[in-house]
Amino acid sequence: MQSSRLTLALAVACVFSLNAVAGEVEVLHWWTSGGEAKSVAELKKMMSAKGHTWKDFAVAGGAGDNAMTVLKTRVVSGNPPTAAQVKGPSIQEWGGEGVLATLDAVATAEKWDSILPPVVASTMKYKNHYVAVPVNVHRVNWMWVNPEVFKKAGAKVPTSWAEFDEAATKIEKAGMIAVAHGGQPWQDATVFESVALGIGGADFYKKAFVQLDAAALNSPTTLKTFETLRMVRKHMDKDMPGRDWNLATAMVINGKAGMQFMGDWAKGEFTAAGKTPGKDYLCVAAPGTDKAYTFNIDSFIVFAQKNKDLKATNDFASTVLSPAFQQVFNLNKGSIPVRLGADMSKFDDCAKKSSADFVATNKAGSLLPSFAHGMAMPSAAQGAVQDLISSFMNSNMSSQDAVAKLLVAAKKK
Amino acid sequence: MTASRQGAPGLTFSRLADIILPRLVIAPTALACLIGFYGFIAWTAWLSFTESRLMPRYEWAGVVQYIELFGNDRWWQSMQNLAVFGGLFIFVSLAIGLVMAVFLDQKIRGEGFLRTLYLYPMALSFIVTGTAWKWILNPGLGIEKMLHDWGYTQLTFDWIINPDFAIYTVVIAGVWQSSGFVMALFLAGLRGIDDSIIKAAQMDGASLPTIYTRIIIPSLRPVFLSVFMILAHIAVKSFDLVMALTGGGPGFATDLPSIFMYQHGFTRGQLGLGAASAMMMLFTATAVVMPLLYSELRRERRG
């Protein structure tokens, strides 16, 4: 009797002490496709190695619209998960709702300020406290090129928008489509963003689309951006409305089209088709943007928990940013590690170039958040700007009108 | 006196049960409707007067969201689209459904088979209809390519990628889906008409078209009302059809208020604006349906 009571007490003590070190991490994400799911399994393994139990909270559905609805429900009902996949200015919006926890303890201990580029670090902070942890970096201002098509047309890969017009015309004369594009609002915005960066350069981009400065938005540079976009639009095929981005990529892969403007997730399609970078396809910066880098970063926000014990949360954040996880995850996802000075030896040429440019543009101050992918503007402004670009691409709106409307759209809060 | 005293307890109990029982049975449903329907309408109305962004906030902010909404190009475009789509969708579905029902009503052979054939599209979800029509109408894949392959290269049919015509492709897909169902309702109505009236008309020497236009179709009035109600609410809530067919594009040429509401309320972190647009949709639907219901109810009471 005595001994059994002792055992019970011990067992209880054990359970409690276990609870003190280990916890349950529940992470909401929408990485449900093949490579992504594999990466999440890796994260799960690393977390259980630290003694935490992992509760998967995956919500399928591409861009995470469904997941956000589920997340809001959970937060409103006072039962938030440990972390959720949220990015860009939405981090600030969630911060404004006052439901996030701070990661300052682990960030200071692991010197996040020095391993992350400042522009990345600042998007992870709400009022100077870390509330989110970045996972990966996608470069958005890529142009994917089928060299075979260029050779047949006798064109050369353009490095400016004027050269682009020339090359595209040659490709069309040779009977092929110059630009493969999917006419969905976010894809339209992706092209617009690269054009704006190529025309105006990093400083203009930053002023106009990050700081939403009225003078920059209302400048001749913006006007020229819309005019150039109109020119680029003419080189797209007429069947583009509603086409998915991966179908457009397939057109470049099988030589129907010469180029596509798309972030580096397009690489996955090339890889899946058994193509090698440098030989079957080229990844070059969009015309005029090789000295700049627009990024799209996935990140996790962490929520304040009822029991206030943030051990599990901190361990989670530390694991996500650890060199081992960064490498495994990004090899699977096709993106690059967000840590400066990551070991890139296992990555392909496009990723190596992306990483080198990531580091270089960070030093040069031309590392920029992509607004088309929700990294730069509040979601209301982003939506309104995206609506405008899309309606410009699909109507006869004049460039002057577009500039005037852009000014209004960017002010939406 | 004594008789009433003896009968009284039993009578009051059963009378009590008569009064209480129906209310008791109705109560859960009524409560669920009250909360789940009117409660949430009230909640949405409240949200539309706040500055709610990502999540509900409950500080009164006046009509800012409505001002924002009325200054939004995309909102007006989507309302205009709803008018075009709703009007054409209801009218064309009614017309085709009625004609098909009249033809089927001619006691022809194989009626059962044909009825199933016409009704079948209703078995598909709008997502499937939208996706299928997306392929059929795509100039590079569907009708236009087929015509070109047959040698008619000068013919074009590119409505789905033309911002000025894209909304009509939504009408085509919607009509394809719904007219069979409309036919079924009309056919049921036609079969419910008393044969003796028609026979009497025939005796009087009325021709078949006259019988249809003067007797049968007017007596289908209640069916018209039900069909109109059903089609109108399909038009207002249309979301999946457009999402699958055009994704609201090109640009936002086929945007509908329901898509506007969903995107602003749930994906763009503008819950207040979404709520305001939802209220406007409610008002629009009410404005269309109420007078119709009212006149119909008054008619019934008088009749």
The predicted structure's pLDDT at residue B279? 94
Looking at the structure, tell me whether residues B97 and B220 fall in a common domain: yes
Chain A residues within 8 A of B246 when measuring between CB atoms: 241-242
* Sheet hosting strand A177-179, strand order edge to edge: A177-179, A257-261, A142-145, A282-285
Mean pLDDT (whole number) for A201-219: 91
Digit-coded pLDDT (tens) for A93-116: 888 888 899 999 899 999 999 999
Digit-coded pLDDT (tens) for B82-122: 999 999 999 999 999 999 998 888 878 888 888 888 888 88
Q: Tokens 């852009």 belong to which residue?
A: A406
Chain B residues within 8 A of A65 when measuring between CB atoms: 266-267
pLDDT > 80? residue B4: no
The predicted structure's pLDDT at residue A4? 52
Closest of A392, A371, A368 to residue A226, by C-alpha: A392
Closest of A131, A123, A70, A122 to residue A98, by C-alpha: A131
Digit-coded pLDDT (tens) for B13-58: 888 888 888 888 999 999 999 999 999 999 999 999 998 887 788 8
Token couple for B108:
């022809």
- B53/A96 Cβ within 8 A: yes
Residue A62 three-state SS: coil
Q: Looking at the partner chain, which of A65, A72, A390 has a beta carbon nearest the beta carbon of B251?
A: A390
Q: Is B58 a member of any domain?
A: no
Question: Could you tell me which CATH number the domain at A5-136+297-350 has?
Answer: 3.40.190.10
Q: How far apart are CA B254 and CA A241, in angstroms?
A: 12
Looking at the structure, tell me whether residues B2 and B129 fall in a common domain: no
- Residue B15 is which amino acid? R
The predicted structure's pLDDT at residue A17? 40
Q: How far apart are CA B149 and CA B87, in angstroms?
A: 35
Digit-coded pLDDT (tens) for A310-364: 888 889 999 999 998 999 888 888 889 999 888 888 888 889 999 999 999 999 8
- Residue B83 is which amino acid? A
- Residue B268 is which amino acid? R
The predicted structure's pLDDT at residue A234? 92
pLDDT > 80? residue A66: no
Q: Is B142 a member of any domain?
A: yes
- Please report, for residues B122, B129, B130, the alpha-carbon distance to residue B240 in angstroms, rounded to integers and kept in the order given: 14, 10, 8
Token couple for A4:
């059994």
- Please report, for residues A76, B48, B50, B56, B272, the alpha-carbon distance to residue B59 in angstroms, rounded to integers and kept in the order given: 16, 11, 6, 9, 11
Q: Tokens 């009051």 belong to which residue?
A: B12
**A198 min Cα distance to partner chain B (Å):** 24
Chain A residues within 8 A of B163 when measuring between CB atoms: 394-395
Mean pLDDT (whole number) for A397-410: 90
* Paired residues of B50 in beta bridges: B60
Closest of A103, A83, A101, A99 to residue A43, by C-alpha: A83
The predicted structure's pLDDT at residue B8? 52
Token couple for B298:
């008054």
Closest of A158, A181, A195 to residue A208, by C-alpha: A195
Average pLDDT, chain B: 86
- Please report, for residues A99, A401, B285, the alpha-carbon distance to residue B176 in angstroms, rounded to integers and kept in the order given: 48, 38, 23
Which of A75, A238, A387 should we substitute to test contact with B (largest number of B Cβ atoms within 10 Å)? A387
Digit-coded pLDDT (tens) for A37-50: 788 888 888 888 88
Q: Is B261 a member of any domain?
A: yes
Give the fold, CATH level 3, of A139-294+367-409. D-Maltodextrin-Binding Protein; domain 2 (3.40.190)
Q: Is B55 a member of any domain?
A: no
CATH for B251: 1.10.3720.10
Q: Is B57 a member of any domain?
A: no
Q: How far apart are CA A41 and CA A329, in angstroms?
A: 10
Instruction: Give, in degrees to the nearest 5, the angle at Cα B42 between B36 and B45.
Output: 130
Chain B residues within 8 A of A181 when measuring between CB atoms: none
Instruction: Give, in degrees to the nearest 5, the angle at Cα A393 between A172 and A146.
Output: 35
DSSP state of A286: P
In contact, A320 and A47? CB cutoff 8 Å: no
* Paired residues of A29 in beta bridges: A58
Closest-approach residue (CA) in chain A for B262: A65
**Residues constituting chain B:** 303
Q: Is B54 a member of any domain?
A: no
Q: How confident is the model at residue B269 (pLDDT cuts 50, 70, 90)?
A: confident
The burial class, CB within 10 Å (0-12 / 13-18 / 19+), for A147 is middle
Number of Cβ within 10 Å of residue A166's Cβ equals 13
The answer, yes or no, to whether the previous bond of A118 is cis (omega within 30 of 0) is no
Average pLDDT, chain A: 86
Q: How confident is the model at residue B11 (pLDDT cuts 50, 70, 90)?
A: low
Determine if residue A360 is left, alpha or beta; phi over 0 gives left, psi from -120 to 50 gives alpha, anything else beta: alpha
- What percent of chain B has a predicted confidence (pLDDT) above 70? 95
Give the E-state strand segments of A192-292 in sequence order.
257-261, 282-285
Interface ipTM: 0.73
- B158/A93 Cβ within 8 A: no
Q: Do the strands A83-85 and A293-302 form a parallel or antiparallel pair, or are they unpaired?
A: antiparallel
Digit-coded pLDDT (tens) for B170-198: 999 999 999 999 999 999 998 888 888 88
Q: How far apart are CA B234 and CA B238, in angstroms?
A: 6
- A185/B263 Cβ within 8 A: no
- B252/A390 Cβ within 8 A: yes
Q: How far apart are CA A126 and CA B27, in angstroms?
A: 49
Looking at the structure, tell me whether residues B11 and B129 fall in a common domain: no
Residues of chain A with CATH 3.40.190.10: 5-136+297-350, 139-294+367-409
- What percent of chain A has a predicted confidence (pLDDT) above 90? 46
Closest of A140, A412, A365, A95 to residue A266, by C-alpha: A140
Looking at the structure, tell me whether residues B34 and B178 fall in a common domain: no
| pTM for this entry | 0.81
Q: Would you call B67 an interface residue with chain A, using a CB distance cutoff of 8 Å? A: no
- A93/B54 Cβ within 8 A: yes
Residue A346 three-state SS: coil
The burial class, CB within 10 Å (0-12 / 13-18 / 19+), for A39 is buried
Token couple for A96:
């404004």
Q: Looking at the partner chain, which of A69, A96, A242 has a beta carbon nearest the beta carbon of B266?
A: A69
The predicted structure's pLDDT at residue B10? 58
Looking at the structure, tell me whether residues B105 and B192 fall in a common domain: yes
Token couple for A169:
């015309």
Mean pLDDT (whole number) for A354-381: 89
Closest-approach residue (CA) in chain A for B246: A242
Q: Would you call B266 an interface residue with chain A, using a CB distance cutoff of 8 Å? A: yes
Digit-coded pLDDT (tens) for B131-148: 899 888 888 788 888 888
Number of Cβ within 10 Å of residue A252's Cβ equals 26
The predicted structure's pLDDT at residue A308? 65
Q: How far apart are CA A274 and CA A250, in angstroms?
A: 12
Chain B residues within 8 A of A185 when measuring between CB atoms: 249, 251
**End-to-end Cα, chain A, rounded Å:** 68
Digit-coded pLDDT (tens) for B233-261: 889 888 889 988 888 878 788 889 999 99
Looking at the structure, tell me whether residues B71 and B152 fall in a common domain: yes
Residue A319 CA, distance from chain mean position? 20
Q: Would you call B158 an interface residue with chain A, using a CB distance cutoff of 8 Å? A: yes
Looking at the structure, tell me whether residues B8 and B132 fall in a common domain: no
Q: Is B106 a member of any domain?
A: yes
Give me the number of domains chain B comprises: 2
Token couple for A189:
């915005």
Looking at the structure, tell me whether residues B251 and B111 fall in a common domain: yes
Token couple for B269:
């972190």
pLDDT > 70? residue A383: yes
The burial class, CB within 10 Å (0-12 / 13-18 / 19+), for A285 is buried
Token couple for B218:
């007017």
Chain A residues within 8 A of B252 when measuring between CB atoms: 387, 390-391
Q: Is B224 a member of any domain?
A: yes
- B55/A97 Cβ within 8 A: yes
- B250/A394 Cβ within 8 A: yes
Query: Phi and psi (nearest 5°) for A303?
Result: -100, 145
Closest of A211, A185, A262 to residue A89, by C-alpha: A211
In contact, B265 and B69? CB cutoff 8 Å: no
* Paired residues of A298 in beta bridges: A136
Q: What is the CA radius of gyration of chain B?
A: 26
| Structural domain that includes position B4 | 1-47
pLDDT > 50? residue A12: no
Residue-wise over B5-44: b if at least 16 C-beta within 10 A, else e? eeeeeeeeeeeeeeeeeeeeeeeeeeeeeeeeeeeeeeeb
Q: How confident is the model at residue A14 (pLDDT cuts 50, 70, 90)?
A: very low
- B53/A238 Cβ within 8 A: no
- B53/A68 Cβ within 8 A: no
Token couple for A319:
């694991």
pLDDT > 70? residue A79: yes
Which of A30, A233, A391 should we substitute to test contact with B (largest number of B Cβ atoms within 10 Å)? A391
DSSP state of B152: -
In contact, A194 and A263? CB cutoff 8 Å: no
Mean pLDDT (whole number) for A46-63: 79
The predicted structure's pLDDT at residue B213? 86
The burial class, CB within 10 Å (0-12 / 13-18 / 19+), for A50 is middle
